[in-house]
Amino acid sequence: MIYIQYVPEVDYRKDAGYNATEFSMYLRNYITKRANAATSGLTSKNYNRFLLEVYFSVHPELRTDFEENYYNWFHDTAGFFVKGFWSVITLGKTDKQYYYYNSLHDALKSVRFVEGGITYTPVTGVLDYTPLIGHTSQFLLISGLISTLLFVYFIFIWIWSAWDAYATSIRYAATKVRVTDKEWFLNVYAHGFEYIMILPALFVITFISIMPIVFGFLIAFTNFSGFDTDTGRFVWVGFQNFARIFSFGEGIPFAETFWKVLMWTVIWAIASTTTVFFGGMFQAVVISSERVPFKKFWRTLLILPWAVPALISQMAFSIIFSEHGVVNEILQGIGVYDVLNNWGMLGVEYSESAMTAWQKFIWLGQENIQWFNNPQNEWFVRIVLIVVNIWLGAPYFMALMTSIMTSIDKTLYEAADIDGATPNQKFKFITFPLIMYSTAPILVMTFSGNFNNFGVIYFITQGGVGTGDISRAYAGDTDILISWMYTLTVTKRVYNMASVFSILIFLLVGSIAAWNFSQTRAFKED
């Protein structure tokens, strides 16, 4: 029953030809009349498989031929684990073939059947739209990984049972007391309690977290990219993709774009973290000032942006700052546009040759300020983005720091007062060091968070000008690595390069995070 195992679709040679027999004619008539894919519930898969099965029964010699040419022991017969290992190692052997190789289809298409004055045309639609898939590497890889990971579990169980049998036999030899089943289970429970409790979570993590990461890691070493590999086969290519980020001037400019995007990502992460941190600190200092009554009132109002779901506020910003949006209307209404026009920041037609560098630098748009879709002045857009991010990020730090400030021991300030310290000195030598001490780990976390801050970039600018443009390797002006990877993965299907970048982000952020974590008490204690 090889043709049944040969899933997902059948595959047949062009030159095998189709010889009509009486039986196959009847069958075809039946199918023509009854088997309309939409009404009978036939799927292309079982339709093909059924036809092939019938056809092989009629022509046993073709079956042998089929088995010899298209049969792959690992793919079609081998068990779960062996097939899994084979899949991961080879990623499949048989390429995808299209329907016109299928002689059954050719034969069916030309035959009409007349009964009772009505002509029936065969339903070949099912076949028409069915590419005859060979081995699909991505499915093979994923099922291969599943079986490999399961295999690891089994290996552990196997080693443990061997060890347990050995230990039991030793004990029996020494004491001559037979362990009953109940005792054995109680013993295992008592000694393996920790592992039993972890097991469910571990199992879920293995297949939901570890497996996808391994998959993502592995495809960085393949040529998995584009529609063909999506539905067909891809192969291992070693470190070729990693080399591409250093090979300038070849094909799609991944190398140039990568370094540009990386630079902007680092600038973005540093700038957004520091602005948010010091913005929050400034606001906290203002609120905590003795001059301000109703501290709670101000704090509650100013913390609102933290409580509003970021996704919603990010989308709101993309509306507010759109070219014909409310901000531009207000600025126009109160006459800011006139000032900008005078300064040459607005109302001037952009020209690459006639403008000085300074004029280009301050160019905000021709008719309206193009906050996020400025095609010429990418740094303006980026600075706006950093400023908008203060709205999103600073309130959290403000709240954090006000609560730290109120918890600082008051006697410290009293002692400073007696020594005649000025408010600035008190801030510099008491408040600031204490704030830094308790927020430093969070600062590092915020940095790595901003490094991967998909939301701000994607929901506000959707990558900015030039997203999806092949001449710039699909990266827009404001794309940071993570949003660029999103475009690469979801819309452009350049999976392998996206994975390469994932690995690089991991190495970069991971080393920062590891350093940060090694400083915490939790790590030192355990």
Partner 1 sequence: MFGLFVGIFFFLVLLFTHSAITADVFERKGYAKINGALVGLLPVYGLLKANSLPDRKQVLKGAYRNIYSAKEIGMKLITFFQLCLAVFFVLFPIVYLIGASFTNIDSLPTTLIPPANLASLQNYIDLFDGTDFLYWYKNTLIIAVLNMILGVVFITGAGYVFARFKFKGKKAGLMGILVMQVFPSFMGLIAMFTLFQTFNLLGKSTYLTILYVGGSIPGNIWLIKGYLSQIPKDLDESAMLDGASKWQIFFKIILPLAVPILSFVAVGQFMAPWMDYMLPRLLLDIQIDPEIPVSRQWTLAVGLFSMISNPRNSSYTTFAAGALIVAVPITILYMVFQRYLIEGITAGATKG
Please provide the distance, in angstroms rounded to a whole number, between the alpha carbons at the two ends of the chain. 57
Using CB under 8 A as the binding rule, whether residue 210 contacts partner 1 is answered as yes
Q: Does 438 bind partner 1 (CB under 8 A)?
A: yes
- To which residue do tokens 């690992």 refer? 74
Q: What's the closest the beta carbon of residue 177 comes to partner 1, in angstroms?
A: 24
> Which of these, 369, 91, 38, 351, lies nearest to 221 by C-alpha position?
91
Q: Hunting for tokens 């927020």 — which residue is that?
A: 439
State in angstroms the smallest separation of the CB of 22 from partner 1.
Answer: 37
CB nearer to partner 1: give 253 or 463.
463
By CB under 8 A, residue 291 contacts partner 1: yes
Enumerate residues 325-384 that contact partner 1 by CB under 8 A. 325-326, 329-330, 333-334
- CA-nearest of 449, 470, 426, 437 to 513 is 449
Closest approach of Cβ 225 to partner 1, in Å? 11
Of the candidate spans 90-98, 162-170, 411-419, 517-525, the one that interacts with partner 1 by CB under 8 A turns out to be: 517-525
Closest CA to 341 of 330, 333, 329, 332: 332
Cβ within 8 Å of residue 240, ≥6 positions away: 223
Q: What are the contacts of 193-197 at 24+ separation with CB within 8 A?
A: none
The residue within the footprint of partner 1, chosen from 1, 118, 201, 357 (CB under 8 A), is 201
215 binds partner 1, rule: CB under 8 A: yes
Cβ proximity to partner 1: between 25 and 319 the closer is 319
What is the spatial distance between Cα 47 and Cα 41, in angstroms, rounded to a whole number?
10
Q: Of 441-500, which residues contact partner 1 (CB under 8 A)? A: 441-442, 445, 448, 452, 454-455, 458-459, 462, 482, 485-486, 489-490, 495, 498-499
Q: Which is nearer to partner 1, 359 or 438 (CB)?
A: 438
Tell me the one-letter amino acid at 326: V
What the block records as the tokens of 265 is 């990502």
- CA 120 from chain centre, in angstroms, equals 49
Binding segment toward partner 1, per CB under 8 A, in 108-116, 121-129, 214-222, 243-251? 214-222
Q: Does 320 bind partner 1 (CB under 8 A)?
A: yes
What's the min distance (Å) between Cβ of 303 and partner 1?
Answer: 6
* Residue number, 107 or 388, with CB nearest to partner 1: 388
18 versus 337: smaller Cβ distance to partner 1: 337
In the complex, the smallest distance separating the C-beta of residue 338 from partner 1, rounded to whole angstroms, is 14
- Residue 294 tokens, joined: 């109703």
> Of residues 1, 208, 354, 418, which one binds partner 1 by CB under 8 A?
208
Contact 34, 41 (CB under 8 A): no
Nearer to partner 1, 6 or 459 (CB): 459
For residues 130 and 135, what is the distance between their CA atoms, to the nearest angstrom? 15
Q: Of residues 380-409, which lie at the interface with partner 1 (CB under 8 A)?
A: 391, 395-396, 399-400, 403-404
Instruction: Please tell me whether residue 507 adopts helix, strand or coil conformation.
Output: helix
Judged by CB under 8 A, which stretch of 15-23, 91-99, 238-246, 436-444 contacts partner 1? 436-444
Binds partner 1 (CB under 8 A): choice among 211, 266, 348, 408? 211
Q: Is 7 in the site for partner 1 (CB under 8 A)?
A: no
Q: Kindly state the smallest distance separating residue 336's Cβ from partner 1, in Å.
A: 11
Concatenate the DSSP letters of all residues of 166-205 into one string. Answer: HHHHHHHHHH--PPPHHHHHHHHHHHHHHHHHHHHHHHHH
Take residue 387 and report the two structure tokens written for it: 């400023």
Distances in Å between the Cα of 393 and the Cα atoms of 36, 321, 433 are: 58, 18, 21
Site string for partner 1, 106-145 (x = CB under 8 A): --------------------------------xx-xxx--
Task: Pick the closer one to partner 1 by CB: 274 or 373.
Answer: 373
Q: How many CB atoms lie within 10 A of CB 504?
A: 16
- Cis check for the bond before 60: say yes or no (omega within 30 of 0): no
Residue 318 as a binder of partner 1 (CB under 8 A): the answer is yes
User: Which conformational region is residue 463 in: left (phi greater than 0), alpha (psi within -120 to 50 degrees), or beta?
Assistant: left
CB 103 within 8 A of CB 31: no
